Amino acid sequence: MKCYHLRPMWHSKLLFLLAVLVTACSANAQVVQPDTIKVFKLRDANAFMSTDHLGGLYIVERNEVTKYPNPMTSKKRMRFSDPQNGEIAHIDAFNPLAILLLYKPFNLIQIVDNQLNRSTANISPEQLNIMDVQLAATSDENTVWIYDQSSDQLHRLNIDRRRVAFQSQIITKLAGREVEPNYLVANMNGVYLNCPEIGILVFDFFGNYKKLIPITGLKRFQVKHQNIVYWQDGMLQLQSIDFPKHSKVTIPGINPRHVRLEDKYLFMQTKDAVVVILNPLDGQ
């Protein structure tokens, strides 16, 4: 296991970050700071964020998503809202050209493009007898993975044909006990269903169960370069999916609710803001 500590210059920058956060939490708008740190004020206590592999930042507040394509270098932003569908429960920008929005109250999925323009009609899993979608994720522009609580299964939907292509075994049977899945991630290599009681269940692209990664107690995580990226025990942690390799990074002065690591930047969501800094692992 590797344990990293930030270089001295990062320590001084994060001391400055504390002062920035105090300012951000009392402000009514985005706070623009030097190019090594940016802070985006959150207006809603239940807001959440995501990112894409190009470094774009997405902030969801109730029924609106705001995208910052270049959050460290530009003030440009774009918005999407469809209030008639209710509040957005989840966003997945694995494919930044086909961004998934999940609306739980109406059991609907919406796909928007990289400009946040609606690119498909609403997807209604109920038309496929999938009645209780709790989690959803994308892995390419034509595929949506969903976890349906009523059947206790993962289903792979073909967006164009609007049909179920594959489905998993019953999750409770795979877990060997009652579990409550709370997060779903997919990419071109697999599907990752988080059951905080036992860990992350890994499936292949056809919904076949592969293995369990025994990281417990997570609410959110990210799959990046075949690592599970998450925040736990006051540290940024990276667990290899394929090998027994684990790394930890200490970041003084901040304890975020959620983190995402992209090639150039680290995104950290606190109670009141999203903080963006240069990737502290870059070059290590």
CATH number of 128's domain: 2.120.10.30
Question: Does any domain span residue 284?
Answer: no
Give me the number of domains the chain comprises.
Answer: 1
Question: Does any domain span residue 31?
Answer: yes
Q: What is the pLDDT of residue 12?
A: 47
* 88 within 8 A of 102, measured Cβ to Cβ: yes
Find tokens 């008639």 and name the residue.
84
Residue partners of 179: CB distance under 8 A and separation at least 6: 171, 172, 195, 197, 198
Question: Does any domain span residue 283?
Answer: no
Q: What is the pLDDT of residue 284?
A: 56
pLDDT tens digits in sequence order for the chain, 284 residues long: 666 554 444 444 454 454 444 344 434 333 334 458 999 999 999 999 999 999 999 999 999 999 999 999 999 999 999 999 999 999 999 999 999 999 998 899 999 999 999 988 899 999 999 999 999 999 887 899 999 999 999 999 998 888 999 999 999 999 999 999 999 999 999 999 999 999 999 999 999 999 999 999 999 999 999 999 999 999 999 999 999 999 999 888 888 999 999 999 999 999 999 999 998 887 55
Between the alpha carbon of residue 150 and those of residues 38, 153, 155, 156, 215, the distances in Å are 42, 8, 12, 15, 25
Q: Which tokens go with 99?
A: 């961004």
3-class DSSP state for residue 112?
Answer: strand
* 214 within 8 A of 198, measured Cβ to Cβ: yes
* 49 within 8 A of 258, measured Cβ to Cβ: yes
Length of the chain equals: 284
Residues 262 and 277: their CA atoms lie apart, in Å, by 11
Residue partners of 243: CB distance under 8 A and separation at least 6: none
Question: Does any domain span residue 139?
Answer: yes
Q: What is the pLDDT of residue 121?
A: 84
Domain with 161, as residue range(s), is: 2-278
Q: Which tokens go with 89?
A: 């429960």
Question: Does any domain span residue 267?
Answer: yes
Question: Does any domain span residue 144?
Answer: yes
